[in-house]
Amino acid sequence: MKLYYDFHIHSCLSPCGDEDNTPNNIVNMALLKGLNVIALADHNTGKNCPAVMAVGRKNGLVVLPAMELTTSEDIHILCLFERYEDLQKLEEHISSRRMKIANRPEVFGRQLIMNEKDEVIGEEEHLLIVSSGVSVEDVAALVKGFGGIAIPAHIDKQSNGIIGVLGFFDDSLGFEMVECTVDSGVKLPQITDSDAHYLWDISEAEHFIEAETCSARGVFAALKKLCARGE
Ligand SMILES: [Zn+2]
Ligand SMILES: [Zn+2]
């Protein structure tokens, strides 16, 4: 079946994410847009995934747990998972390596952790848009080891895109898929997402993936299959 997706959406936990990007607002907007599956990908954290996944379950939207990891080179890598427990392992791994700089909410924005009722249950005190301490050379194998897929994010963007930073796409880094809004020119399967920091930026039902079932398991299996095709 065709499942319309947007695998790169930020919530109010990303300092640059709008505070209206709450679990319920994200899920409702995705459904309004006609999407079947989304992934919540905040900078260097997955702490709002449980709430968004719970709201998704209640409303018939598949939500993959994810994170947009910043490498030590300042490259953004979209890390998609099927299970939240696996994403948590990545979060634990980077928690000791991540740069610890206090967030300045008045400059960067607040970093709100919410429950499935959109109530604030915590605030991340360290700025999330810093290096995770993981190098671009290690990230593909690391994420795969935790059961996820590491996808260089927005590779057509100059800032924080892998080509913009390194100057070229290095095939030896072990990536199996890229995220790009135009034809990437890279010989790997490609996904196209919104990278929405505001609700209205969430994708229309435009890009789809062929999956066996409309479930996290089905979508993740479809992504893995695409990755294998690139080999
Ligand atoms: Zn990014
Ligand atoms: Zn992003």
Distance 77 CA to ligand 1 centre (A): 7
Q: Are 153 and 76 in contact (CB under 8 A)?
A: yes
Task: Note the pLDDT of residue 228.
Answer: 87
Distance 8 CA to ligand 1 centre (A): 9
Sign, CA torsion 41/43/49/52 = negative
Distance 43 CA to ligand 2 centre (A): 7
Residue 231 has pLDDT above 90, yes or no: no
Distance 39 CA to ligand 1 centre (A): 14
List, for residues 116-129, the tens digit of each pLDDT value. Answer: 999 999 999 999 99
The domain 2-229 is placed in CATH, from the list 3.40.50.2300, 3.20.20.70, 3.40.1180.10, 3.20.20.140, at: 3.20.20.140
Distance 158 CA to ligand 2 centre (A): 13
Distance 85 CA to ligand 1 centre (A): 23
Distance 153 CA to ligand 2 centre (A): 8
The domain locations on the chain are 2-229
List, for residues 66-120, the tens digit of each pLDDT value. Answer: 999 999 999 999 999 999 999 999 999 999 898 899 999 999 999 999 999 999 9
Residue 150 has pLDDT above 70, yes or no: yes
Distance 196 CA to ligand 2 centre (A): 7
Lowest mean pLDDT among 29-33, 37-41, 226-230: 226-230
How remote is the C-alpha of 11 from its chain's centroid? 10
